[in-house]
Amino acid sequence: MTDDSANAGRRRFLVGSTSAVGAAGIVGAAVPFVGSWNPSAKARAAGAPVRVDVSRLQEGEILGPIPAWRGRPIFVVRRTEEALNALTTMGDRLADPDSEQPEQPAYAQNEYRSRRPDVLVLVGLCPHLFCSPTPHIELQPEPFDANWNGGFFCPCHGSRFDLAGRVYSGSPASRNMEVPPYSFESDNVLVVGVDEENPA
């Protein structure tokens, strides 16, 4: 005659053990699945803000392209007083002198297209076909266009921009170069990717 109490004990042990192993398996399968909802380290890095020290950037110099923000190069220019004065005289030659494009931040809707007149921050891509324009920071006539006094020139299709990234009328590009969201952490450190008006 079998001992029912011993069998019942074995059954409880087997059911409990099987349940514990099954629960562990479910948790083990769920962790990678739930983890896949989180952005990868590469994705986080691609959208992470980029801090730029501009303390050594002299007038008439460009820093860029700096390490890409969201996979796009960034140009940072410190403009001379002469360059700033020239920006106020070019309105009739530009397609969108007041940066009225709705996708631009409010602080780009002025003749300097910047938070501070002397420091310009741009995405270093031509908005036509996203080629990388060549910076011409010195305020001087260029050999290929005596009426153009510097800024950014896209050699792929010939789009020209002034030293505020505003596109000249008649260029293949129909929009100004993009001003990314940015803010100043201090007088000498700007943060690309953090807009103080919309920090999220």
Give yes or no: residues 13 and 53 share one domain.
no
More confident: 183 or 196: 183
Give yes or no: residues 53 and 99 share one domain.
yes
In a domain, 136, yes or no: yes
pTM higher than 0.75: no
- Tell me how far apart the 2 most distant CA atoms of the chain are, in Å: 111
* 11 confidence band (pLDDT: 50, 70, 90): low
Mean residue pLDDT of the chain comes to 78
Residue 6's pLDDT is 60
Torsion angle, CA of 146/65/102/190, rounded to 10 degrees?
-120
| Spatial distance between the Cα atoms of 103 and 38, rounded to a whole number of angstroms | 28
In a domain, 198, yes or no: no
Phi, psi (5° rounding) for residue 88? -80, -5
Domain with residue 102: its CATH number is 2.102.10.10
In a domain, 44, yes or no: no
Digit-coded pLDDT (tens) for 155-178? 888 899 999 999 999 889 889 999
Give yes or no: residues 1 and 84 share one domain.
no
Give yes or no: residues 70 and 18 share one domain.
no
Give yes or no: residues 98 and 164 share one domain.
yes
Residue 137's pLDDT is 81
Digit-coded pLDDT (tens) for 110-165? 889 999 999 999 999 988 887 888 888 887 766 666 667 788 988 888 899 999 99
Residue 186's pLDDT is 93
Give yes or no: residues 71 and 149 share one domain.
yes
Nearest to 190 by CA among 111, 85, 78: 78
* 15 confidence band (pLDDT: 50, 70, 90): low
Give yes or no: residues 66 and 115 share one domain.
yes
Give yes or no: residues 64 and 119 share one domain.
yes
Residue 36's pLDDT is 39
Give the structural domain span for 61: 49-192
Give yes or no: residues 26 and 64 share one domain.
no
How many domains is the chain partitioned into structurally? 2
Digit-coded pLDDT (tens) for 66-101? 767 888 899 999 999 999 998 888 778 898 888 887
Residue 54's pLDDT is 92
In a domain, 95, yes or no: yes
